[in-house]
Amino acid sequence: MYGPKDPKSRELWVNFDLMDKEKVKIHAILSNAHRQAARVNLSFDFPFYGHVLQEVTVTTGGFIYTGDVVHRMLTAMQYIAPLMANFDPSISRNSSVIYFDNGTALVVQWDQVRLQDGYSVGSFAFQATLHSNGRIVFAYKDVPISVSRINSTNHPVKVGLSDAFVVFHRIKQLHNVRRRTIYEYHRVELLKDQISSSTAVDMRPLPTCLQFSSCGSCIFSLIGFRCSWCHRLQRCSSGFDRHRQDWVDSGCSNQPSCKQDAGDPRPSPVTTVAVVKATVREASIATARVASTAAGRSALPNSPPSEGSYQEPEEEKNEEGGAHYSLIAGILLSLLSMATVILVTIYLYHHPTSSASLFFLERRPSRWPSMKFRRGSGNPSYAEVEPPGQEKEGFVMMQQC
């Protein structure tokens, strides 16, 4: 982050007056409409979270959408947002959305745009630059008010990055219909109070598992992620990226790690971690089973007498005792079930990216609105307001097969 007095802030601002006029494009629809989006083809490959993008979607709302499915909830996730807000270029003749592609970078500028529900606060001018090496720069020339004061009632206000993966599920009850779940796996949120006129943000990409092309370099990588190699896909991944559908369908999570070099006796670190976790998990399950068995035995009546023994006088007493113990067993079983549900809920809440959390997320009933979407280079409008909590959990869209 570079402040207003830092010379670097002025260096990172791209002056369109010095660019080749033939390459500078003013999008007519984006400059004269509200809540619109348009596809822009890149002349270079842009790596975003390790995924190579060849086109992006520029919107009037101060952000770039990076997903390949154009839908009405573009603001929810998969975005590059220098300043996402309720901008409406159509309310001022001086407003425009322009962009410039020089072969190694794409610069998008929202020039003199105004808020639809805050016209009187003044005009904004800011840029987002996407470099071919994955570097992303946000530069701000005019920000008349604090970003934290911008009204988010009619449009989300965000500054940062987000990416998500898509998983498909067939719905048995509906023929030829699949459920498309978009799950956000990472987000970068910049402090809104630090965004002001003559500031800039320079973000450099970190290494990802996707960059490794061999099994050895994949599992022995030390980049802060737990990388695994999938033999069937010949791909390195952490399991949380845009290729998750292929990763799950190919059973990559259950595949053994690659064979080690003959002269290297060291065990694979991924395998070691997996074994340790499996041992702990099995020990926990075994402990739970022992505890459950012990509880069951303490709640059940005494073992029946062996054959040949005679206890006819106590028959009525045993029947009453059996009913009493059955009631206690039922109560204990109910309490145990409630405790299990509570513990599982707490675990899923604190481990949102665990396999169990994703399992329930990808298979839980849809309680989100169904969104229509389409591919291509059209100019779709996007939703006015995100439902509460929508952006944090993902949403579901229906697709005809």
pLDDT of residue 253: 79
pTM of the model: 0.67
Tokens in use for 199?
């500031």
> Over its length of 401 residues, how does the chain's per-residue pLDDT go in tens digits?
899 889 999 999 999 888 877 788 887 788 888 888 889 999 999 999 999 999 999 999 999 999 887 766 778 889 999 999 999 999 999 999 999 999 999 999 999 999 998 889 999 999 999 999 999 999 999 999 999 999 998 899 999 999 988 887 666 666 666 677 788 889 999 999 999 999 999 999 999 999 999 999 998 888 888 899 998 899 999 888 888 888 888 888 777 766 544 334 344 343 333 333 333 333 343 333 433 433 343 333 333 433 333 333 444 445 556 667 788 888 888 898 888 888 887 877 666 656 666 656 555 444 333 344 444 444 556 654 444 444 444 444 334 44
